[in-house]
Structure 1
Amino acid sequence: MSGPGGDAAEVDARGLRCPAPVLRAAAAARTLPAGALLRVTATDPAAAVDLPAWARMRGHELVTCEGTGDLVVVTVRLTG
């Protein structure tokens, strides 16, 4: 759950391949309230496309999608 100051809940999907990062994000999202931030860190390059698409399909707000070397970090604000 988001902590004080809007800290994001974290999903570590490093080392997992499609569709596991999206499945992990979806499972975490079900446990969080609307307005919470969810940050997913993945090493699968497809996550840079798959996670924003999942967020869009679910009506969540894509906050950031960044690639840093071998990592993809996606932050989403969940909707109700």
Structure 2
Amino acid sequence: MTAPRWIIHLPTTLTSQDVATDLAAALRDSLGHVTALDFGETTLSEEDAQHLRHRVWCDTRLDGGLRCRLRDGHSGSCGTAGES
């Protein structure tokens, strides 16, 4: 049996989903080396509607074990470069 994974809910004072997404991207860029963090599964929610979560990244698996780093709902092909 696999041990359960734990989720860290990190409230912010941000009032815009776009700005919260930018913060998530900055955290991924600065903490991406921490193997205990799975930024591909990052979601955002409003403080009073935490049951309504919005995916930040596409996270589709690519060749070579990498994941798509583009924003969820992006147009075109998946990739690891470009808009984070």
Shorter-chain TM-score bucket reads 0.3 to 0.5
Which of 1 and 2 has higher RCO (CA within 8 Å, sep 6+)? 1
Pick the structure with greater CA Rg.
2
TM-score (structure 2 length as normaliser): 0.35
TM-score (structure 1 length as normaliser): 0.36
Higher strand share: 1
Higher helix share: 1
